[in-house]
Amino acid sequence: LRRMIPGVCLDFDGDEEAKIFGLENIDKGLLGQKCGGLDVDALVNFYEDAFKKLDGKILFNTTVSELILKPEKRLGIHGEPFVWQDKRIVGVKTNRGEYYGDSIILAPGAWANILLDRIGIDSHTKPKKRQVFVVGGPSLYPLLNVKGFNGQNILPFTILPTHPRIYIRPCGREKSFWVGCADDIGRAFMLEDNPEAEESYYYQLYQLLRKYFPHFENVRPMNMFAGLYEMNTIDGNPYIFEEAGAIIAVGASGSGIIKADAIGRIVAALYNGEKKAELFGGRGFRVSDLGVEKRKVEKEEFIL
């Protein structure tokens, strides 16, 4: 590793500061050969185009304020639905008016609880802020020219053995790096309308980062952004289930881009009343495995 990544520090023997940070020597690294990046804009544009080709209509700047709950069998009496009536989500109230559908599919991400809590449906998820810092500068350029790991001759996406894990993602075209770290205890589960990245948080990561990569010494963020993970706090996998006639897809837990295709296919199978979804590559997946009642998934260990 030392030969391949000039300047990297793997050995902290005798480094008192590193000891305080709890940093351990690195004996070896693991390289994922079949890995890569995904252009999120391209992915979203693809879905938008595909949806429009199916005559789908997209309404931007439209907020759902309420889910409309009606009795399965309407009696036409004022005050419905009553306690003893089976209920069904039949539509949504928005700032543009009400919309009804034979089937309502909800994928409100971190905002799920606003809509679902009030009608007594548990999303099984909680929102938590996550932040990314963009850094660059000449001292980092050697890391954009690292041979032996991949065809691009660039440092791979690197996860450091810190607690919690700090990751760095090189962006060759922009000559920059994204730095992030998913903090756990101490970081509130909280819904924020406009979550902001905290520069002071970067400097906490920076203290550790510069130990492994002295290239980061004195490097400040050029840009930073934050968003919300909608965390399934039990197994870190999405929930896809039917409740009150609606299909609910939530809890991507920070992997909703990479899992979007699979989630979409499982939602489509549920909508079509199929027990099994066919994932990309032809692999079958039992729809109920990501549901609530018959849930059967391993814990997602790869959450950054």
Ligand X SMILES: Cc1cc2nc3c(=O)[nH]c(=O)nc-3n(C[C@H](O)[C@H](O)[C@H](O)COP(=O)(O)OP(=O)(O)OC[C@H]3O[C@@H](n4cnc5c(N)ncnc54)[C@H](O)[C@@H]3O)c2cc1C
Q: Which is nearer to ligand X, 208 or 228 (CB)?
A: 228
Question: What is the C-alpha to C-alpha distance for residues 176 and 25, in angstroms, rounded to an integer?
Answer: 26
Which CB, 23 or 252, lies closer to ligand X? 252
Task: Find out whether 134 and 221 touch, Cβ atoms under 8 Å.
Answer: yes
Closest distance to ligand X from the beta carbon of 83 (Å): 26
Q: Which is nearer to ligand X, 67 or 144 (CB)?
A: 67
Residue closer to ligand X (CB basis): 64 or 155: 64
Q: Which is nearer to ligand X, 21 or 99 (CB)?
A: 99
Kindly give, in sequence order, each residue whose CB lies less than 8 Å from that of residue 194, ignoring residues fewer than 6 positions away.
none
Contact yes or no for 240/291 (Cβ under 8 A): yes
Q: Which residue is nearest to ligand X (CB)?
A: 256
User: Nearer to ligand X by C-beta: 31 or 257?
Assistant: 257
**DSSP letter (8 states) at residue 194:** S
User: What type of residue is 145?
Assistant: N
Closest CB 141 distance from ligand X, rounded Å:
24
CA distance 103 to 90: 7
Residue 74 beta carbon to ligand X: minimum distance, rounded to whole angstroms? 25
Provide the minimum distance between the beta carbon of 220 and ligand X in the complex, in angstroms, as a whole number.
Answer: 19
Residues that bind ligand X (CB under 6 A): 63-64, 107-111, 115, 130, 132, 227-229, 252, 254-258
- Report in angstroms the alpha-carbon separations of 206 from 74, 114, 126, 194, 298: 61, 35, 28, 24, 33
Contact 134, 9 (CB under 8 A): no
Minimum Å gap between C-beta 152 and ligand X is 18
CA-CA distance, 128 to 207, in Å (whole number)? 23
Least distance CB 122 / ligand X (angstroms): 16
